[in-house]
């Protein structure tokens, strides 16, 4: 009898070690920027990673499972049972304040307020998260502080939002001289139904009413844009964002001063850096845009006169601000920051650059 060729195969146990299952919450921005692009980059780096459709947990003999936004009692108990059955290490990611922290609630202008049970989430996470999650990943330091009130801080890892070269590695281009503003955002930032300016201060909203503005996805009730682009699939978003901002001198990233927004990330700023357009950001203590150039920050309490001064100063120092943006972006390319993710998921036996 010939010697079996199966002797050279890896033993089944080795398929368990150093493997990860990635279970996104959705295929939108939340799932894409926090889990899916990371999974794809880990695969590129030679890691054994399996991606499921949103919310679909199954055992593939993985040593770790990375998922996101597990916050309700039902969800936490389901993942706990999955953990007991599979023996997999569980890592849960959170990128928004969807539980109560220091009494803060989701702002009234944010349409998701009616869809999220903050009290229920808080109670469930306080009681169960320590048993379900072996580690937690978050996008900001403020989110870490909030979760550490009911979960061990040394098991919470801050992994900022990042971009990939493949999607966002655009070459620098000339910028227009005409003053034009671009805004891409949903009704998480304002409310057309309630006629609330939301993350736009009233002075900023009034200022922009007299300016040339381009919008994407949905038009805020207080603006009259010269052009409005339709929403697009996420796999086309980066390219569309690049093309749609070619005639815009500034990108607007407004946020109101509240704890919910202090937990938000700098993602819109990174996207603006990548397409080579100066991003004018709302500035307040503890906000996500504290790393921006001082000349592109608009205080949340700025008068229209102050806003005009800041815009004029940004125009006069446009190239300097762009250089700062490219420098800032250089620290947040996912391609160069995979090691921390690999370590958390237990994939660090092989080198991850």
pLDDT above 50: residue 301:
yes
- Helix ranges (DSSP H) in the chain: 29-31, 37-44, 73-86, 118-132, 141-147, 165-168, 202-209, 234-244, 259-262, 267-275, 304-316, 318-329, 339-344
Confidence of residue 28 (pLDDT cuts 50, 70, 90): confident
Residue 104: its pLDDT value, please?
A: 84
Q: Which residues 6+ apart lie within 8 Å of 294 measured at CB?
A: none
Give per-residue pLDDT as tens, 162-197: 999 999 999 999 999 999 999 999 999 999 999 999
Amino acid 16: pLDDT? 64
Choices 2.60.120.260, 3.40.50.720, 3.40.50.2000, 3.40.50.300: CATH for 166-329: 3.40.50.2000
Which pLDDT tens digit goes with each residue over 36-93?
A: 999 999 999 999 999 999 999 988 889 999 999 999 999 999 999 999 999 999 999 9
Give the model's pLDDT for residue 133.
Answer: 98
Domain 7-162+333-344: CATH superfamily is Glycogen Phosphorylase B; (3.40.50.2000)
- What does the pLDDT average to over 229-248? 96
Domain ranges of the chain: 7-162+333-344, 166-329
- For position 14, what pLDDT does the model report? 38
- Three-state secondary structure string covering 317-343: CHHHHHHHHHHHHCCCEHHHCCHHHHH
Q: What pLDDT sits at residue 7? A: 37
**What's the rounded Cα separation, in Å, for the pair 346 and 256?**
38
| Confidence grade of residue 2 (pLDDT, cut at 50, 70, 90) | very low
* Average pLDDT score over residue span 97-113: 93
Domains 7-162+333-344 and 166-329 share a fold: yes
Is pLDDT of 3 > 60? no
- What's the confidence (pLDDT) of residue 103? 86
Q: What percent of the chain has pLDDT over 90?
A: 90
Q: Taking the model in full, what pTM does it have?
A: 0.92
* Summary mean pLDDT of the chain: 93
Q: Which distant-in-sequence residues (6+ apart) come within 8 Å of 234 by Cβ?
A: 27, 28, 29, 32
Low-confidence winner among 17-26, 293-302, 307-316 (lowest mean pLDDT): 17-26
pLDDT tens readout for residues 137-166: 999 999 999 999 999 999 999 999 999 999
């Amino acid at each position: 009898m010939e010697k079996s060729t199966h002797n050279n195969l890896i033993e089944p146990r080795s398929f368990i070690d150093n493997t990860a299952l990635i279970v996104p919450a959705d295929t939108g921005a939340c799932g894409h920027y926090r889990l899916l692009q990371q999974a794809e980059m880990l695969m590129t780096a030679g890691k054994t990673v399996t991606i499921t459709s949103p919310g679909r947990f199954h055992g593939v003999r993985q040593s770790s499972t990375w998922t996101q936004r597990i916050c309700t009692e039902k969800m936490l108990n389901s993942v706990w049972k999955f953990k007991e059955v599979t023996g997999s290490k569980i890592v849960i990611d959170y990128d928004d304040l969807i539980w109560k922290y220091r009494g803060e609630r989701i702002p009234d202008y944010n349409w998701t307020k009616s869809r999220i049970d903050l009290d229920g989430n808080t109670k469930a996470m306080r009681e169960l998260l320590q048993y379900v999650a072996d580690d937690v990943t978050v996008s900001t330091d403020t989110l870490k502080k909030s979760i550490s009130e009911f979960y061990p801080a040394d098991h919470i890892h801050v992994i900022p939002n990042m971009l990939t070269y493949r999607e966002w590695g655009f070459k620098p281009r000339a910028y227009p001289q005409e003053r034009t503003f671009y805004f891409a955002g949903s009704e998480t930032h304002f409310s057309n139904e309630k006629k609330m300016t939301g993350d736009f201060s009233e002075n900023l909203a009034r200022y922009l009413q007299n300016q040339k503005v381009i919008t994407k996805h949905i038009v805020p009730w207080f603006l009259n844009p010269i052009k409005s682009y339709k929403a697009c699939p996420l796999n086309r978003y980066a390219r569309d964002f690049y093309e749609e901002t070619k005639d815009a001198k500034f990108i607007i990233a407004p946020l109101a001063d509240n704890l919910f927004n202090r937990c938000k990330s700098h993602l819109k700023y990174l996207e603006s850096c990548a397409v080579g357009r100066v991003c004018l950001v709302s500035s307040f203590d503890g906000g996500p845009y504290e790393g921006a150039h001082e000349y592109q920050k608009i205080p949340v309490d700025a008068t229209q006169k102050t806003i005009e001064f800041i815009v004029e100063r940004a125009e006069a120092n446009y190239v300097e601000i762009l250089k700062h943006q490219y420098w800032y972006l250089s620290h947040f390319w996912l391609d160069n920051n995979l090691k921390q993710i690999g370590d958390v998921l237990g994939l660090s036996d092989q080198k991850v650059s």
